[in-house]
Structure 1
Amino acid sequence: MLPNISSNDVRRRTLVRSAIGAALLVSAGACQVATASPPKANSAWVYDVLNRPGKERTFKPGLFAKDINDYNSLAKSDSKISSIYSYFGSMELYCPGQGTAYCPISKMILSEASGAGERKPGAPRSETLSRYHQDIDASEQHPTTVEAVIDGVVNAHYAGSLRGFNELSQSAAEAFADKITERVCSDPDIDGVQFDLEPFNVNKQNGQYFFYKRIANNFAAATDAGKDCANEDHPTGRYFSVFAAARHLQPGTPGAENLQDIMHTQGNAYMIAPLYDLAATPLGQQTGVANYRQQVQTQTAQLAQWANEAQVYYKFGVPAAASVHEFAGCNGKACRQVATESISQLDYLNAAIEAINNSGARGQLYYLGTAIWAWSQAIVHGGAQFSPASPPADVIHYLQQNL
C-alpha cells in the first residue's frame, strides 16, 4: 500500500514546483511554451530491486532513503544529493519474429519493477519513488526530485530485449514514446526519467532518435500524447536524461548533430556521461588505476569542451560503488583482477573527481552536477558479483567534502 501523504511530502511538492517552475521558454511560432529545465543537482542511483538468476527477486521500497539523509547531514552544501534516480522498469520489444517492419504497440512493453504500488484511477504511483519523495529530507536550497530509471538493452538477443529498437519506423518509435509518456505522466511522483537504453546510438535518424525527439515534445506537453505531462505538481512538464558516452557529442559527427537536435528540441533534456566501464575489455577485467586516471582525464576534458560549445546540459557519473571494470572485489569465473596493485573503490573515485575538477566543467552553465553510482543491494552481472555494492565509509566521507 502507498504510505500516507505527510507534511514533508506537501513541503516537498512546494519546493519542487519552485525549482522546476524556473522554466526555459522556447519560442513556438507566435506563442511561448514553458518547458521543465533539468535541475542543477547532484544525483544518486538507487536500486531497491535485486534480481539474481535462480533466486527470488527482492524489493525493498525506499531502502536507501536513510543512507542518503545520513550522507546529506554531514555533506557540504555543494556536495549534497537532492536528485534520486530510482529504478522503475525496463522497455522491451516482442515484435513478431523480432522483425520491426511490423511491430504492434501491444508488443512494445514497459515492464515495471515489483512494488508498483496501489494504482488509483488516473493516478498510478510507484511505491518506491513515492517513498524517496517523502523520506528524503528536503530544503529550500536542495528540493528533492526523483527520476524514474527506465532501462533496456538494444543489441541483445534474448526475448524481451530491445533488439530492433533502432530499426523502428518513425511512427512506431513515436507510438512507443507515447506509451511510455502515458505511464510516466500519470504518476505524480515522477519528476523526470533517466533513460538507460544501451548502447546509445543516434548516428542516424533511427528509432532511438525518433523516440527521444517524441519524448522531448511529449514531456513538454507539446503533443496530444503529452497533454497530461504538465499539471499542478509539474506545471512545466517533465524532463529526461540519456545515458551516453562523451564521444557521442564529438563535433562534426552525424551522431553529435542528432544528439544536439534531441537536446534542443524543448530544452528539457540532458546527457549523463559515465566515468566508468570506459575500457573495451571483457566484463570482469579490472581496469588499473593509472590507466583509469588517463581515461577519465580524456573523457572529462572532451565533454566539458564539446557540451559547452553545443550548449548541451550534462552530468558525469562516477564509480562510488563497483562497476564491472572498476571494482575493489569480484567473485565469479569472469573476474580478472589486477594482480600488481591493491585497489580500493576510493582510488577510482578520487581519479574521477580530480578529472572533473581539472576539466573546468564546474564553472560551466551546462554542467548540472555529478551522478553517483550507486546504492544497491548487490551488483551482479555476467555471472559475477562485484563489490562494493554501495559506497563504503571512506568513499562517503570523500564525497561529502568533494562531490
Structure 2
Amino acid sequence: MTPPANPATRFDAPATGAVPARISGGFLDSPALGRVLAVLTGAGHQALVVGGAVRNALLGEPVADIDIATSAPPDETMRLATAAGLRAVPTGIDHGTITVVAEGAGYEVTTFRRDVETDGRRASVAFSDNIAEDARRRDFTMNALYADASGRVLDPVGGLPDLAARRLRFVGDARERITEDYLRILRFYRFLAWYGRGADLQALAACAELRHGLAQISRERIGHEMRKLLAAPDPAQAVALMAEAGVLSLVLPGADPGDLPELIEAERDFGTGALPVWPRRLALLAAHDAAGALRLSRDEAREQHQIALALDLSGPAAAYRFGRITAAQSVLIRAARGIAPPFGWCHALARGAAAQLPIAARDLPELAGPALGQALKRAETAFVDSDFCLNAQDLRQIALRAQGHPDIHDDA
C-alpha cells in the first residue's frame, strides 16, 4: 500500500549497542495500520511490521509497501479482522497471507512461517508462532527486521549492524538460502545496487558457485528482478560483480557492462528528467536477445529495438523517426561511449520530433506503386539530412529526379 504523505522517520538508536533501535513518524502514524496491529495484539498475538518498510524507515528511504507478520494463524487473522469490522481477503491463505483492509488501505498480514521443503523455486511452509523461525527463513539480514506499533525494532538475526554498515548478507548460510530459491542470486545483486555499500564475501562466492541454478527460474521472474536492478540509482558496481561471477552472461548472454559507469555519469551530467531508466541501461548492455532473455513485453522489445537503431542516427534524426524519448535515450548512451552531445541537443531533439515531411503521396501524382514509395523515402532522407529545412517544392523535385522523371531537369 502507499504510506501516508509524510515519510519522515528517525533512527533513534545506533545499530550496535544495548539500546534497541526505534523508528518513529511516517507510516507508523497511520491510524489504519495502528488499527490492524491492535486487532491482533489485543487478542494476545504478536503483530509486527516486517521487511522493507522497517529497513527503509531506518535508512530514511521512502516506504512503498507495509507488510505485517503475526503469530496468529491465518484463520484467526480472518476471524479477528472480520469481528472488528475490517475486510479480510484470503489472498494467499495457503501460504498464511490475508489482506486486511482498514480505512481503504490494504495490508498483507502473514503468519510466522518456517520452511519445510524447498526445491530451488518455491518452498513448502509450516505456520509458526515463533518470530525467530520466521526470521531465519528470510533472505537477507537487513530484510529480517521487525517493528511493533511503538516503533521498537526487533532483530532476531543480527540485521541492524549489517544495515548500519550497508552490508548485504544472507540470513544464516548463503548456500542454503540460495538453494531454497535460486532467484535470490539476482535479488542479492538487486539489493546490493539499491541498499548496499559492501557485500559479504561468502554471499558473493555462493552466488558465483550456484549461478547455474538460475536455469530453474522462469525468464519472467528473472526479467522482473533485472528491471528493478537496472532501475537502481547506480547499479554499475552490482552489475560488474554479476559479470565477474558469471551471472550476467547466464541471464543476458552477450551483455557488456563496461560502459555502464560512464552512462551513470552521463545521466548525472546531462540529466534524465522523466526518462525511463532501466530501458536505457539495458540497451547499453547490448545483449544478444534481451527481449527473449528477460521476456520483455512487445512494447518493451520494440523500445529496445528502436534505441538500437537510434544509436546509428543523429539525435534530431532519431527524434524524427522514433520520438523524443527514444532519441534522448540514444544520446545518453552515445555520451557514455565517448560521443558527447552538442550544445542545445535537447532543443534539437524537440525540433526533430516536431518535424513533419512537407510532401505526401498526393503531391506525386506522376508516380505509383513501388516507385512512389521509393521516391517518398528519398525525399524523406533528404529532408532529415537537411535538418528539416527543405520545403515541399524542393522535396518534390528530389523525389521525381531520383526516379529519373523526364519532366524534372537539373535547371528546373
- TM norm structure 1: 0.26
- Structure number with greater CO (CA < 8 Å, separation at least 6) is 1
- In terms of fraction of residues, the more helix-rich structure is 2
- TM norm structure 2: 0.25
Larger Rg: 2
- In terms of fraction of residues, the more strand-rich structure is 1
